[in-house]
Amino acid sequence: MRRGLMGWSEADLPVAVLRKRLSRLQEGFAKEGLGGLVLYTNLARPAAVSFLTGFTPYWSEGLLLVPASGEPVFATALSKRVSAWIRSVMPIGSIENTPQPAAAIGHKLAAANIDRVGVVELDLFPAAQAALLMGNDGAVVLNDATALFRSVRIRVDATEISLVRRADDLARHCLETFHRGDDARQMAADIEARARLAGAEEVLVGVNPDLGRSNAFLRSDRLDGLGEHFAIRLSLSLQGSWVRRTITLSLISEAQAMFAAADAAFERALASASQAAALQMLQNGFPGKITAWTVEACVGSYPLEVVRRSGGTQAFPGNAFSGHLPVSVISAQADLNGVTWLGAGPVIGEARP
């Protein structure tokens, strides 16, 4: 669940920005023949609703109905007693507390004589919600509107760029200042606490305790000792904007120098104007062989999802966009003279008007 600081402020996420995002989305409805758009949210898939309203659920689930014009409606299974809290973190739209969010949205569609709505990531939509939305007689037709949403989502604005930069600054600060030692659990806990004390909304820390054994990042319950070379992966969010950072550390001084050179080259690549340019720099100007990489971005309901990865896989479905992503996270694995190095960090470009 989310248990860090959850808040909204006009300075960080202006209502005018949210309204602009909504209107951009609504502009596409007519072309698609949609009377509205429905987006699902829970704490594993909060990003699409968060992008449009600023709201992330700490628990439970909900649906956002974006009508063809006017304010959105957020229907949630969170109880009515939580309404005041929702209002405090969601500055836009109306709120309906109901055990069956899709039924409530369905009633609104029926009242407005809407018989065709778009659903973002329709295949992943929860089955019960889909059934309720369509109604017993199948009165409402559900169209997959993932591509429509994505075409708006990837136009990252200056507000989001600013939040991502702040999230990244915090992530880097935590990874630069944590108390180093020989206990992986303690180190992970210290990093997490620093991020939470600084107001992170959510923090996930994974540790690969021994790069000589596996590529897996483990959670606290599986951690004890450390190998010669180990890596720490920190993912954190500020007001719905997520970044990841991975650092590789060594107890061997020779390797520390090698990792420092790799870190510097990686940072130079991350400073590129685009993820494509960053990947190019990693392939051509890295002090070692890049053996694997992924590019993650927020393009739908996942906070971050893999949109490209090495090995020729284009994981980004729908082919709605194949070029520049203004904000992305690159994770890379390299072989440095037989020693594994892992790194991750964001490439933050310019806002797309």
Partner 1 sequence: MKGPDKFAVSAAYRARVGDLRRAMEAADIDGLLLYGNNWHADFLRYASDFGIVEGQGLALFERDGTVTLLLDDPIEAERARAETTHEIVLADDLVGMAKSLLLRGGNRRVAAAPYHLLPYGIARHAEELRLSDGGKLIEQLLMDKRQEEHVHVRRAAALADRGYDIFRAAARPGRKDYELIAEIEKFFRCEGVNENFMIIGVGGREVRGMAPPSGKVLKDGDLVTTELTPCVDGYYAQLCRTLVVGQPSELQLKSFRVFQEALDAGLRAVRAGITASEVAKAENDVFRGYGLGQYVTSEYTRVRGHGVGLFPDQKPQVLEDVTIPLTANMTMIVHPNTYHPDVGYLVLGDTIIVTPDGHEGLSTMPRALLPS
Shortest spacing between CB 168 and partner 1, in angstroms: 18
217 binds partner 1 (CB under 8 A): yes
**Tokens read off for 326:** 């203004």
302 binds partner 1 (CB under 8 A): yes
DSSP letter for 305, please.
E
Shortest spacing between CB 299 and partner 1, in angstroms: 14
CA distance 93 to 288: 51
155 binds partner 1 (CB under 8 A): no
Residue 62 has a CB neighbour count (10 Å cut-off) of 26
149 binds partner 1 (CB under 8 A): no
Cβ 330 vs Cβ 270: under 8 Å:
yes
Taking phi first (over 0 means left), then psi (-120 to 50 degrees means alpha), and beta for anything else, what does residue 276 get?
Answer: alpha
CA distance 72 to 92: 8
CA–chain centroid gap for 60, Å, is: 18
Among 68, 77, 103, 122, indicate the residue that binds partner 1 (CB under 8 A): 122
Among 23, 177, 214, 322, indicate the residue that binds partner 1 (CB under 8 A): 214
45 binds partner 1 (CB under 8 A): yes
Dihedral sign computed on CA atoms, order 156, 161, 162, 166: positive
CA distance 73 to 89: 15
239 binds partner 1 (CB under 8 A): no
Among 13, 148, 192, 250, indicate the residue that binds partner 1 (CB under 8 A): 192
Among 30, 197, 271, 273, indicate the residue that binds partner 1 (CB under 8 A): 197
Among 233, 262, 297, 334, indicate the residue that binds partner 1 (CB under 8 A): 233
Residues 6+ apart with CB under 8 A from 141: 115, 116, 117, 134
CA distance 192 to 173: 12
String of contacts with partner 1 for each residue 3-22, x by CB under 8 A: xxxxx---------------
DSSP letter for 39, please.
E
The residue (of 70 and 318) whose beta carbon lies closer to partner 1 is: 318
From the list 182-190, 271-279, 282-290, 345-353, the region that binds partner 1 by CB under 8 A is 182-190
- Classify strands 289-297 and 241-250 as parallel, antiparallel or unpaired: unpaired
The residue (of 133 and 258) whose beta carbon lies closer to partner 1 is: 133
216 binds partner 1 (CB under 8 A): yes
The residue (of 287 and 317) whose beta carbon lies closer to partner 1 is: 317
The residue (of 30 and 44) whose beta carbon lies closer to partner 1 is: 44
318 binds partner 1 (CB under 8 A): no
60 binds partner 1 (CB under 8 A): yes
The residue (of 3 and 289) whose beta carbon lies closer to partner 1 is: 3
CA distance 98 to 338: 57
Contacts 24+ apart (CB under 8 A), 256-265: 258/287, 258/336, 258/337, 258/339, 258/341, 259/336, 259/341, 261/287, 262/286, 262/287, 262/288, 262/334, 262/336, 262/341, 262/343, 263/343
268 binds partner 1 (CB under 8 A): no
44 binds partner 1 (CB under 8 A): yes
Cβ 274 vs Cβ 283: under 8 Å:
no
CA distance 42 to 319: 25
Among 151, 162, 186, 283, indicate the residue that binds partner 1 (CB under 8 A): 186
Shortest spacing between CB 159 and partner 1, in angstroms: 20
From the list 126-134, 151-159, 160-168, 283-291, the region that binds partner 1 by CB under 8 A is 126-134
What is the contact surface with partner 1 in residues (CB under 8 A)? 1-7, 42-45, 58-61, 79-82, 84-85, 88-89, 122-130, 185-186, 188-190, 192-193, 196-197, 199, 204-206, 213-223, 233, 235, 294, 302-303, 305-306, 309, 313, 315, 317
